[in-house]
C-alpha cells in the first residue's frame, strides 16, 4: 500500500528547515539541496512544493509572520493599552536568538520585495495587520488616559513601525551597539514620552 503523505505537514517542515538554514548562512549561500537535507528529505522532494528558493523565502516569511502573530496573541491576552502595545512590540523586536533568526529571514525577504510585486504585496498585507493592532492599542490607551501626547496616532504607529523594523536590521548587523537591553530601553523611553504628554 502506498505511503500517505501529509502535504501540509511536509510543506511546514520544509519552511521550518528553510528559515533555520537561511538564518544561519543567508539566502545567497543556501541551496535547495541543503534545505532538503535540513528537513530530512531527498532533494527532489522539494520540487512539488517549492520550485525556487524565492518561493521558499516567501513561505518562510509567511511562517515567521504567523509565528510572530501567534506569540503576539499569547502575550497580549487580557492586556490593554500601553501594556499590550509594549508586549506587541517586544514580539517584533529581536530580543532573543529566535527573534534574531526571524530577522535574518525578513531582511533578505525585503531585498526581494523591492523588485517582486507579489512579495511586496505579501509584506504590505502583513504590515497593515501590525499597524491596525498598534492603532487599537493606542485607542485603548487614550481611552484609559494612559497617553497624554498631542502626537497623532498615525504618527505614533509610524514611529513604532520604524523602530521595530529598523531594530531587525541594526540588531543583526551591529549587535553590540543594539543589544536586547538597549532596544527595550529605547522602546520604553518612547512610551514614557507618550505617557508624559511631551
Q: Are 164 and 68 in contact (CB under 8 A)?
A: no
Q: What is the pLDDT of residue 46?
A: 73
pTM of the predicted structure, to 2 decimals: 0.84
Structural class in CATH, domain 62-196:
mainly alpha
Running along the chain, 198 residues long, what does each successive block of 10 average in pLDDT? Answer: 60 75 77 79 74 81 90 94 96 92 89 94 96 96 93 95 94 88 94 86
- Helix (H) / strand (E) element for 110: namely helix 97-113
Instruction: Give the integer Cα–Cα distance in Å for 102 and 158.
Output: 21
- Looking at residue 50, what DSSP letter applies? -
Give residue limits of the domains in the chain: 62-196
Give the three-state DSSP class for 78. Answer: coil
Q: What is the pLDDT of residue 156?
A: 96
Which runs of consecutive H residues, i.e. helices, occur in 115-179? 117-143, 153-173
Q: What is the pLDDT of residue 6?
A: 65
Residue 192 is placed in which grid cell?
Answer: 514614557
Instruction: Give the integer Cα–Cα distance in Å for 116 and 132.
Output: 24
Of 86, 72, 77, 103, the C-alpha closest to 175 is: 103
Return all residues near 123 (Cβ < 8 A) that are at least 6 apart.
61, 109, 110, 113
Instruction: Give the integer Cα–Cα distance in Å for 69 and 83.
Output: 17
Q: What is the pLDDT of residue 1?
A: 45
Amino acid at each position: 500500500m502506498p505511503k500517505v503523505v501529509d502535504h501540509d505537514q511536509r510543506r511546514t517542515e520544509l519552511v521550518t528547515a528553510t528559515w533555520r538554514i537561511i538564518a544561519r548562512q543567508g539566502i545567497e549561500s543556501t541551496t535547495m539541496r541543503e534545505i532538503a537535507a535540513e528537513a530530512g528529505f531527498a532533494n527532489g522532494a522539494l520540487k512539488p512544493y517549492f520550485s525556487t528558493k524565492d518561493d521558499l523565502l516567501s513561505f518562510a516569511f509567511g511562517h515567521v509572520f504567523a509565528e510572530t502573530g501567534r506569540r503576539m496573541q499569547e502575550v497580549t491576552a487580557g492586556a490593554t493599552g500601553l501594556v499590550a502595545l509594549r508586549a506587541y512590540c517586544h514580539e517584533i523586536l529581536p530580543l532573543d536568538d529566535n527573534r534574531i533568526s526571524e530577522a535574518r529571514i525578513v531582511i533578505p525577504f525585503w531585498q526581494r520585495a523591492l523588485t517582486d510585486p507579489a512579495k511586496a504585496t505579501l509584506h504590505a498585507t502583513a504590515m497593515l495587520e501590525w499597524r491596525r493592532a498598534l492603532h487599537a492599542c493606542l485607542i485603548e490607551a487614550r481611552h484609559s488616559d494612559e497617553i497624554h501626547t498631542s502626537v497623532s496616532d498615525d504618527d505614533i504607529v509610524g514611529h513604532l513601525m520604524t523602530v521595530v523594523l529598523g531594530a531587525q536590521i541594526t540588531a543583526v548587523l551591529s549587535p553590540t551597539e543594539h543589544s536586547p537591553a538597549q532596544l527595550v530601553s529605547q522602546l520604553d523611553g518612547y512610551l514614557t514620552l507618550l505617557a508624559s504628554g511631551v
